[in-house]
Amino acid sequence: MKTKYLAWVAAAVLLAGCDSSLDTNPTASIDAETALGNARGIELGLTGAYRGLQRSGLYNQELMVLPDLYADNLDFSGTYSTHQEISLRNVSAANAALSDAWSQSYAGINRVNNVLSAIPKVTDMSEAAKGQARGEGLFLRGLFYLNLVRYFGGVPLVTEPSTGVDESSFVSRASLQESYAFIEKDLEEAASLLSAARADGRATKGAANALLARAYLEEAKYTQARDKATAVIGSGTYQLVANYRDLFTSKNSSESIMEVQYSVNNSNSQAFWFFPQALGGRFGYTPSASLNSAFEAGDTRKAASIGTSGASRYGNKYFRVANGDDDVFVVRLAEMYLIRAEANAQIGADPATVRADINVIRRRAGLADLPTTVTSKQALLDAVLQERRVEFAMEGQRFFDLRRLGRAQAVLGITESRLLFPIPQGERDVNPNLAQNPGY
């Protein structure tokens, strides 16, 4: 009898030795403390930060759409109230597209901050490699912040990686000037660190300068905007493509300064949302009648931008609906010409200089030069605005152009309080330190 008791006791004791089975490990993640500990980790982390550009609220969809839908380039034709609100210019603070843009931008910024803070601690990297990596990180952070600032105005400036949640996580907004100053600083340092050679889909000196030109123009720092645009044009690294449509049918063309890269394994939904159902899309929005008629006769950009299916117009810049692998422009050379034209017009430079830059863009589109009678500042700015509208339709510029040139209220019929998007309500619910934009 005794042996049987012992067998039972032995069984229980053996079971008790199973504690080690509680130590299981994930198979698709690694612990945060060790992830960025060496050169390979920095490389992987930077790649992850670039990936941050590809999310739905950013270059995957909304960044190319919202500024056109909120303005007069796109009409709503879908079912989602998110986009309907944007097209009605009556945006609620709970709008999902805006909270996506907010959260996804800051997720990207956190990825960059992790990399930036890890670089100095890594021992198996050369100083040159560290400089390049830091430059790419700073470029990305500047880009994330520039997109945020154009939507929301001054935003919280987060510069350190998040490891948990404490008092310091409840940040407040910086002013618009402070925000732009921060962006300038990141991008200027990035431009000084980055290589000038072309690198498809990645940060380069030219890309940093191009973003600086865009930022300075938004800030009305016209001479800096002009100089940065000139630097990019004059670098010789980029040339306009002869045929406008080639910008979209071929990837990483000579005109591309930076475009977010997509492949079949890493796809976006631009074409899906622009295309009509008959062509396999969702048709969330459609080019407006006013955009359609904004193209002058003979403009080759019209057919390259707008297609028709039955009775419907649809945007066809992004057309790889099957695989979703259209690249999406962050910035391209044509914008540098038009930034320089606009800056020169604002500065009061020789109208011929201004027209010359605009004409570069018009000739490529198969249009005649601007009449030499276009000489007044207002007429020149009007010409820039018109040219930008048809050149960058569905590339996420229109609303910012109207706002920067003081036309948004008149053209879109909105009040001043609608010149900025609301800070996402969900974020303000969590963080009471965030002030809302006036009028929301």
Partner 1 sequence: MSKLRWLLAIFLAMAALPGTGAAQVRGAVTGQVVETDSRRPIQGAQVRVAESGLVAVTDAQGRFQLQNVPAGARTLQVSRVGFKPGSAQVTVGATPANVTVSLQTDALGLEELVVVGYGEQRRREVAGAVSSLRPTSDVTVRDAPISSVNEVLQGRLAGVQVFQNSGTPGAAISVRVRGSASLNAGNQPLYVVDGVPMIQGNFSANPQTSFGGQGIDAISDLNPKEIESIEVLKDASAAAIYGSRASNGVVLITTKHGSAGRPDISFGGYYGTQEAWRRLNYLNAEQYTQVYNEGCVNRYGAPCVTLTTQAAAASPVPSSVANTVRAVPGVSTDWLDQVLQTAPTWSLDGSIRGGTERARYYVSGSAVNQDGILRAQGYQRLNGRLNLDYVPTTRLTLGTNVALAQGIMQRARSDNTIYGALPNAMANPPIQPVYTNSGDYYETLYVNPVGMLNESEAEERSLRVLGNTFARYELADWLNIRGSVGLDNLTNRSRAWDSPNFGPWAGSGGAAGSGTYFVSRVTYEGTANFNRAFGSNHDFSGVVGASLEDNTQEQEQVQGTQFPTEFFKYVTSAATIASGTTTRADYNLVSYFGRLSYTFADKLTTTFNLRTDGSSRFGANHRYGTFPSASVLYRLGEEPFMQSQNILANLALRASYGRTGNQQDIGNFASRGLYGGGYNYTDQPGIAPSQLANPDLRWETTDQLNLGTDFSVLNDRVNFTFDYYDKRTKDLLVNRPVPQTTGFATITSNIGAMKNVGYEVSTRVRWLQGSSRGLSWSTDFNLSHNRNEVTELYNNQPISSGFASRVEVGQPIGYFYGYVTEGLFQNTSEICLNSAGGAACAGKHAYQGSSRTAPGDIKFKDLNGDGIINAADRTKIGSPWPDFEGGITNTLSFLGFDATAFVQFSQGNDIFNGNRIYSDRYGSGGDNHTTRALQRWTPQNTNTNEPRAVWGDPNLNTRNSDRFVEDGSYWRLKNAVVGYTIPTRMAQRLSFRSARIYVQGQNLITHTKYSGFDPEVNYAGQSSTTRGTDFYTLPQARTVSFGFNVGY
> Shortest distance, CB of residue 135 to partner 1, whole angstroms?
17
256-260 and 328-332 strand pairing: antiparallel
Query: Which of 347, 379, 426, 437 is close enough to bind partner 1 by CB under 8 A?
Result: 426
- If one asks whether residue 250 binds partner 1 (CB under 8 A), the answer comes out as no
> Shortest distance, CB of residue 313 to partner 1, whole angstroms?
9
Q: Please give the Cα distance from 367 to 300 (Å, whole number).
A: 8
Contacts of 143 (CB under 8 A, 6+ apart): 53, 211, 330
Q: Please give the Cα distance from 201 to 50 (Å, whole number).
A: 9
Contacts of 13 (CB under 8 A, 6+ apart): none
Tokens 């609906």, located at residue = 321
Q: Please give the Cα distance from 76 to 83 (Å, whole number).
A: 7
Q: Please give the Cα distance from 9 to 3 (Å, whole number).
A: 10
- What burial class does residue 342 get, using C-beta atoms within 10 Å of its C-beta: 0-12 exposed, 13-18 middle, 19+ buried? buried
Smaller CB separation from partner 1, 181 or 434: 434
Q: Which stretch binds partner 1 (CB under 8 A): 197-205, 222-230, 350-358, 400-408?
A: 197-205
What is the maximum span of the chain, computed from C-alpha positions, in angstroms?
Answer: 115
- If one asks whether residue 167 binds partner 1 (CB under 8 A), the answer comes out as no
Residues 73-112 that bind partner 1 (CB under 8 A): 75, 77, 79, 90, 92, 94, 99, 102-103, 106-111
Which of the 8 DSSP states describes residue 175? Answer: P
Q: What SS3 class is residue 130?
A: helix
Residues 206-245 as x/- pattern, contact with partner 1 by CB under 8 A: ----------------------------------------
> Shortest distance, CB of residue 341 to partner 1, whole angstroms?
33
Q: Please give the Cα distance from 383 to 48 (Å, whole number).
A: 40
Residues 33-62 that bind partner 1 (CB under 8 A): 33, 35-36, 41, 44-52, 54
- If one asks whether residue 165 binds partner 1 (CB under 8 A), the answer comes out as yes
> Shortest distance, CB of residue 11 to partner 1, whole angstroms?
4
How would DSSP label each residue in 2-16?
HHHHHHHHHHHHHHH
- If one asks whether residue 403 binds partner 1 (CB under 8 A), the answer comes out as no
Q: What SS3 class is residue 346?
A: helix
Residues 405-424 as x/- pattern, contact with partner 1 by CB under 8 A: -------------------x
Smaller CB separation from partner 1, 163 or 372: 163
Residues 108-127 that bind partner 1 (CB under 8 A): 108-111, 113-114
Query: Which of 227, 296, 382, 427 is close enough to bind partner 1 by CB under 8 A?
Result: 427
- If one asks whether residue 293 binds partner 1 (CB under 8 A), the answer comes out as no
Query: Which of 128, 220, 289, 435 is close enough to bind partner 1 by CB under 8 A?
Result: 289
Query: Which of 142, 156, 307, 315 is close enough to bind partner 1 by CB under 8 A?
Result: 156
